[in-house]
Chains A and B, each alone.
Chain A
């Protein structure tokens, strides 16, 4: 039903779990439809001369 790649991540999750004091957190999905994901950002240093 799922591709090998998806199953590979499911069985051997990389970068899974939260971190202490993250710089940012984002949640997507909806528990009502059964799928939900949370992403933690931890940005070490502020880039000073980056332009947006």
Chain B
């Protein structure tokens, strides 16, 4: 097996050594349940409180506005379902976008079955929602706007500060799914008028199975997981102390390293984009050129299929991902690529490469060199390419 070049950091990241070391004592030494009365429990409680502060500081939130959950999907579900329930006397209309993660979209579909009405905002060819369309969509019975901070597939960063301002002008709550953005781009809940925000530990070198929902003080939201009195009575279940400690430490590190780390990632990202666009014909960059996550690259290669690209890259030890159909068991390509206006046959040729702090220039050049060969090889056996060449004047 070749050396692994892991370029699927939007799927998940490696837990950093510092984070792991911070977590380890909470498995065997300080394993107490932080809700207990005896002093042995005190250490765990202190650690949870400290992690909550670390998680809050990264987004300018107050400590008591951070609630630990089982991950990003739970946070999204909680934010939408519980708000829908709590504000149903005001109205049953929710606004979101067509390019949200399935944790939002499938929750919206569930809510539609419960009698809620959902408006799915279109996006432009670069993946951004229109603020004008948002304004027009808001009605007197609109209770919530949920738009992601940055897209997980094409990396486009949404204008969340403007969305938040519009939401607050109209007296509507604003939730943002920041799973891809938290720890990667600057977010400030007050400056961006965010009422609720979802984030997940494993997207920024923290552990899996731990997330947060930021809930602004004063937002009426009922508990979603019922049981004990943990998380200020709003999210039951024994605190995942090692996970919480890991989340906090990862958030602290992400905040401290954000500037230097993302500057490096952007340089490598743009180098890869530049090389592929100039050296491989019939390829397009998906997502916004500059308003995009520092570590995200997403292309569509015409006439070939993303899945075969992934298999050939895998044989070289390169881990990447695609919005192609077969991996998801559906014949339709990614809803995000369709929403930016790509036809099915082009959307099937997508490749997502997501970098990390560890990614090197050598890795990127290796991938660009190999991609050239792989794309050429796959096009050689593609009937679509054959037709295209034949029909060229």
Query: Chain B CB within 10 Å — which of A7, A11, A36 has the most?
Result: A36
A window 8-31: CB within 8 A of B: 10-11, 13, 16-18, 27, 31
Contact B386 A18 (CB under 8 A): yes
- Does A32 count as interface, using CB distance less than 8 angstroms? yes
Contact B383 A36 (CB under 8 A): yes
Contact A38 B345 (CB under 8 A): no
Contacts A13-B381, A16-B381, A37-B383 given: A32-B311 contact, CB under 8 Å? no
A-B contact count (CB 8 A): 38
Contact A34 B381 (CB under 8 A): no
B interface size (C-beta, 8 A) = 19
Chain B residues whose CB sits within 8 angstroms of the CB of A2 once the complex forms:
311
A interface size (C-beta, 8 A) = 17
For the complex formed, measure the closest distance between the CB of B329 and the CB atoms of chain A, giving whole angstroms. 11
Q: List the A residue with the shortest CB-CB distance to B303.
A: A31
Contacts A10-B311, A18-B386, A38-B386 given: A31-B344 contact, CB under 8 Å? yes
Query: Chain B CB within 10 Å — which of A10, A16, A33 has the most?
Result: A33
CA distance A10 to B307 in the complex (A): 12
CA distance A4 to B293 in the complex (A): 37
Contact B383 A34 (CB under 8 A): no
Contact A17 B381 (CB under 8 A): yes
Chain A residues whose CB sits within 8 angstroms of the CB of B333 once the complex forms:
34
Q: Which of B311, B324, B384, B386 contacts A31 (CB 8 A)?
A: B384
For the complex formed, measure the closest distance between the CB of B256 and the CB atoms of chain A, giving whole angstroms. 39
CA distance A40 to B380 in the complex (A): 15
- Does B331 count as interface, using CB distance less than 8 angstroms? yes
Chain B residues whose CB sits within 8 angstroms of the CB of A10 once the complex forms:
308, 311
For the complex formed, measure the closest distance between the CB of B152 and the CB atoms of chain A, giving whole angstroms. 21
Q: List the B residue with the shortest CB-CB distance to A17.
A: B381
CA distance A37 to B384 in the complex (A): 9
Query: Chain A CB within 10 Å — which of B305, B324, B383 has the most?
Result: B383
For the complex formed, measure the closest distance between the CB of A14 and the CB atoms of chain B, giving whole angstroms. 12
Contacts A16-B381, A27-B383 given: A34-B326 contact, CB under 8 Å? yes
Chain B residues whose CB sits within 8 angstroms of the CB of A38 once the complex forms:
383, 386
Q: Which of A13, A17, A27, A32 contacts B344 (CB 8 A)?
A: A32
Interface 1/0s, chain B 312-341, versus A by CB < 8 A? 000100000000111000010100000000
Query: Chain B CB within 10 Å — which of A2, A16, A18, A31 has the most?
Result: A31
Residues of B with Cβ closer than 8 Å to A?
305, 307-308, 311, 315, 324-326, 331, 333, 344-345, 348, 380-384, 386
Q: List 23 A-B contacts (CB under 8 A).
A: A2-B311, A7-B311, A10-B308, A10-B311, A13-B381, A16-B381, A17-B380, A17-B381, A18-B386, A27-B383, A31-B344, A31-B345, A31-B384, A32-B344, A32-B345, A33-B325, A33-B331, A33-B348, A34-B307, A34-B324, A34-B325, A34-B344, A36-B382
